[in-house]
Amino acid sequence: MKKLAGGIDIGGTNTAIGLVDREGQVLATHSIPTRAYPDVEEFVDSVSAALCNLLEKVGEPCELVGVGIGAPNGNYYRGTVEFAPNLTWKGVIPMARLFEERLKLPAYLDNDANAATVGEMIYGAAQGMRDFIMITLGTGVGSGIVVNGQMVRGHDGFAGELGHTIVFPEGRTCGCGRKGCLETYVSATGVKRTIVERLAKSTDPSTLRDLPPEKLSSKTIYDAAMKGDQVAVEAFLDTGRILGLALANSVAYTSPEAIFIFGGLAKAGDLLFEPTIAHFEANLLPVYRGKVKVLPSALPDFEAAILGASAMVWRRVGEKEPAS
């Protein structure tokens, strides 16, 4: 009977669910809206039911051996989600235990960006790299840092929160309660806030003025920029300038070989990467210039965190050993 691991990526907007074999092939996927479940136990029930439905769709006898979970503010050591600013559930949530009780299987949890980082390290463009950084641009900004082939977790499991480094003191209010965090400027939510501010402060023509707030998204901003909307183009220039500076600062901590950018906003391609790389190189300490690559993730947006989360299962059951 074929053994499979469940990979669960809990995002601020959507939760991706998948079944992965030990070779890293994603056999089936599904997603649900995270915010549709204000009660965390109902959320766990829904995700568990989705996993069971996916098992039926695989088309051959198979066994689910465990689930791996990537979540914002996920604590690898405790299996908990703790005070995640972009999730509905507040306080400390024993997420791994809830899934274990529901599925009667082992469940392992890590920060969602760390899970995506492990996916890139084992199955993506970071294979063979021992020092790199992964930046995830979604509802918020996450990051995973690998040094000497090991995931940096810190003494309490919360290392690597580059999204909550402050880039503008007294800047935009962040969901974490502080002001000026990087994620308030360079996440999908941050780009939307940039557009709203630009439209309010200027009378420049823009097709985005005709959109109701609920229709404004990083995708509609990208589409407008690709059609030559100057307000949208300048929003991406602003985003790249801020992100490039922040990444240049991050290099001074670990001297990575590469920085990978992952998530929906990375799909903007050159609109985001060109200004980011230009400001990144301009702000690097001279000893680092020309040495650090800034690259898009090589894994499909929907699958990277699922793959990384599932790798936690293979490691624990001895099927697949990631370098973390």
Block mean pLDDT (10 aa), the chain, length 324: 94 93 94 96 98 91 95 94 91 98 96 91 93 94 96 93 96 95 97 96 94 90 96 97 98 97 92 98 97 94 86 75 42
φ, ψ for residue 38, nearest 5 deg: -65, -20
Place of tokens 């051996």: 65
Nearest alpha-carbon partner for 22 in 324, 323, 321: 321
Q: Which pLDDT does position 317 carry in this prediction? A: 78
Beta bridge partners of 214: none
What number of CA atoms fall less than 13 Å from residue 305's CA on the CB side? 32
Q: Which pLDDT does position 304 carry in this prediction? A: 83
Packing angle of the helix pair 112-123, 304-317 (nearest 10 deg):
80
Residues 6+ apart with CB under 8 A from 239: 185, 186, 190, 191, 194, 265, 272, 275, 276
State whether CATH 3.30.420.40 applies to domain 2-118+301-317: yes
φ, ψ for residue 212, nearest 5 deg: -65, 155
Q: Which pLDDT does position 14 carry in this prediction? A: 92
Residue 294 structure tokens:
């800034």
Domain with CATH 3.30.420.40 in the chain: 2-118+301-317, 129-296
In this structure, CATH architecture of domain 129-296: 2-Layer Sandwich (3.30)
Q: Which pLDDT does position 320 carry in this prediction? A: 44
Please state whether the predicted TM-score (pTM) of the whole model is above 0.85.
yes
φ, ψ for residue 317, nearest 5 deg: -95, 5
- Pairing assessment for the beta strands 258-262 and 293-296 based on DSSP bridges: parallel
Residues 6+ apart with CB under 8 A from 286: none
